Amino acid sequence: MLANDIPDMAILTFSNRGDIVLPDEYKDSENLLLCLMKSLFDVSKAYIWYHKSDDDSDYPQTERVFAYEFYRRWTENLKEDKIDDYIVNGEPEKKTSNFRNGRSNFPDLVLHHSQGDITRQGIVCEIKRGEGLTNINFRNDIEKLSYFVDEDRCDYCFQFGVFVLVGSDMGEVLSSIKKIDGGLLRFSEKFGYCNKLICITYDGTVLETVQLSEVLSYTSKEIDNIIKKYK
């Protein structure tokens, strides 16, 4: 079930990289999110699933296989789109003095001006495969992304924090949000940065995206009804 069939929910669904149009709510004057999403579409299914000829079945590639190809495509598209002020780095060290006991964090992918310049931070990205998604690691990724886009706590202050779920659909993301929001993680209106947190799913054919702030405006029952449409 595609998200376009879901009424009153701000999930955007795209089946072609050329059809990606982001609304004003995303507030991205530099087209950084557009470049990221086009780059996801450029990663073929072969980097998400591999085929075993002996039993005629598809099996999931590892997260790393996908992430390396995504990194390559993203770097190429920055040049194509003439976004010259940013580079993509894989798992760079980001020192976080007031987060998680001051330990450094290593986001999966980062779009920034350079490792040594904290003033030009574009997108911090965490990646998970659908098969490896748990409530705990989803919560941890969202907490990490939340920190990196929060200008009151973090010196880097990225423009966007993006969670990418590979090989699945938005129903899985909504299920995790619903489960953790009531206990392990709680967002409320005081967290004004939720519109800077973007959840994306990509299965090699369809890309879906939603701002976390949109999801959190719905009741638990409303989210349940949306999840049912993915069954």
Full-model pTM:
0.89
Among the residue ranges 156-160, 200-204, 205-209, the one predicted with the least confidence is: 156-160
For 83-130, the pLDDT digits (tens) are 999 999 998 766 666 666 656 778 899 999 887 777 788 999 999 998
How high is the pLDDT of residue 119? Answer: 77
Q: What is the CATH number of domain 3-228?
A: 3.40.91
25-54 residue pLDDT tens? 888 989 999 999 999 999 999 999 887 767
At residue 37, the pLDDT reads 97
Altogether, the residues listed in the chain come to a count of: 231
Asked if 138 and 190 count as a contact pair (C-beta separation under 8 A), the reply is no
DSSP for residue 108: S
Cβ neighbourhood burial of 132 (10 Å; 0-12, 13-18, 19+): middle
